[in-house]
Amino acid sequence: MKKELLMGTALVSTLGAATVAEAVTATMSGNHKTGIEFDSPTGGTDTNAQTFDNNFTVSLSETTDGGMTISSSFKVMDETTKVDGDAGFTLAFTDGSKLDVIAAGNASGSHAVSIPSSAGAEGVATTSTNAASTGLDFATAATNLGVEYHTAADFLADGLKMSFSASTDSGAAATATYRVDDHIAVGATYVTDLGDTALTIGGGYSAAGGSKTGTAVTNDTGGFHVGLSAVTGDLTVAVGYADGDKAGVGLSSANEYEGSVTKAGIKYVTGDLTFNVGLASGEMKDNTIGTTGGSDDSLDTTSASVSYAVASGVTALLGYTSTEAVDEGSSTNDGSAWYIGANMSF
């Protein structure tokens, strides 16, 4: 009996020590956003439907004896069995710099300036053949086999931060579907004060290479973007512009396009109320891979929203978006949409 007790004590002690050694700090966050969208397409039938966006994220981190923090995360999305677990690792160093390893992303996209727009979840759906985009980072492709290095604050100059990224391919044989094989990118954000105004300038450049059997692309994915945001008290004004090419889009990844995006927005906060207004315009010329010429696609949106902080973590939302779209040179999918709902975050 004495031997069993000693063995049991040793086992418990060992398991306890292992638990302490292997434990990491875990934090949880997420949101539950749900509401009703009222969609009114031009020339179509008005529809009403519930929309929702539910996310649950677990963040893991631990600090080594040398002061370096190692972190990663995974996400459960939209109340389904789908788990987004493709996050890699982030190594945060004592000098304030960071290194993302595996699924690191694109350094250019990391520095795209945020442009205010509706905080709602409304929008008019466009056809699958409309290649126009309204995102500043539309030309920032990367593979999961990459790294991104983020400098510490005040890199080379006060208020400057930069990122550098690169990725490579898996070594698998090319197929008839276009894929991104590699990329290099650089991005930067500069923050300074002009009197009572906090000014942020962000921009980036990315170049990617891809492959497919058969016809080669005319231009691989790549381009640049630049944006400016000015915050004076409770007022934020921001503008941005992007230009570039994107390959491997559309049905069977059989298209490529070149184009540009222009965005502008205003946000004003007063007490528990937040007002957003945004404009976005995307102009694209899409072609079948390996061809030139093509037809013009465009997407122009005007959006606005009012958000009210009902309680800590609870926000009521009212949003409106108006859309004008052109696909292959012809007007299509115009219309407007309203949204009323709420977001609960933790």
Reported as a single tens digit per residue, the pLDDT across 136-161 is 999 999 999 999 999 999 999 999 99
Q: Tell me, yes or no, whether 216 lies in a domain.
A: yes
Token readout for 212 is 């497919």
Token readout for 168 is 């490579």
pLDDT of residue 16: 42
Q: Tell me, yes or no, whether 232 lies in a domain.
A: yes
Above 80 in pLDDT, residue 131? Answer: no
Binning pLDDT at 50, 70 and 90, where does residue 81 land? low
Q: Tell me, yes or no, whether 333 lies in a domain.
A: yes
Sign of the CA dihedral with 169 first, then 218, 106, and 31 last: negative
Picking from 208, 210, 241, 200, the residue whose alpha carbon sits closest to that of residue 224 is 241
Token readout for 91 is 């190594």
Q: Are strands 222-232 and 235-249 parallel, antiparallel or unpaired?
A: antiparallel
Above 80 in pLDDT, residue 121? Answer: yes
For the chain, give the mean pLDDT. 87
Q: Tell me, yes or no, whether 71 lies in a domain.
A: yes
Binning pLDDT at 50, 70 and 90, where does residue 82 land? low
**Do residues 286 and 294 lie in contact, with contact meaning Cβ atoms separated by under 8 Å?**
yes
Above 50 in pLDDT, residue 2? Answer: no
**Do residues 133 and 283 lie in contact, with contact meaning Cβ atoms separated by under 8 Å?**
no
Look at phi and psi of residue 20 and say left if phi exceeds 0, alpha if psi is from -120 to 50, else beta: alpha
The number of folded domains in the chain is 1
Tell me the C-alpha distance between 201 and 190, whole Å: 5
Q: Tell me, yes or no, whether 195 lies in a domain.
A: yes
Above 80 in pLDDT, residue 6? Answer: no
Binning pLDDT at 50, 70 and 90, where does residue 1 land? very low
Token readout for 311 is 């309680």
pTM: 0.84
Tell me the C-alpha distance between 52 and 29, whole Å: 17
Token readout for 308 is 């009210």
Q: Tell me, yes or no, whether 13 lies in a domain.
A: no
Binning pLDDT at 50, 70 and 90, where does residue 10 land? very low
Residue 165 is part of which domain span? 36-345
Q: Are strands 83-84 and 89-92 parallel, antiparallel or unpaired?
A: unpaired
Tell me the C-alpha distance between 282 and 261, whole Å: 4
Above 60 in pLDDT, residue 113? Answer: yes
pLDDT of residue 83: 55
pLDDT of residue 252: 58
Q: How far is CA 232 from CA 80, 285, 327, in A?
A: 42, 38, 39
Q: Tell me, yes or no, whether 21 lies in a domain.
A: no
CATH number at residue 60: 2.40.160.10
Give 226's strand partners: 203, 241
Residue-wise pLDDT tens digits, 241-294:
999 998 887 655 778 888 999 999 999 999 999 999 999 999 988 888 877 777
> Which of 168-172, 224-228, 231-235 shows the lowest mean pLDDT across its residues?
168-172
Token readout for 160 is 């400057």
Q: Tell me, yes or no, whether 20 lies in a domain.
A: no
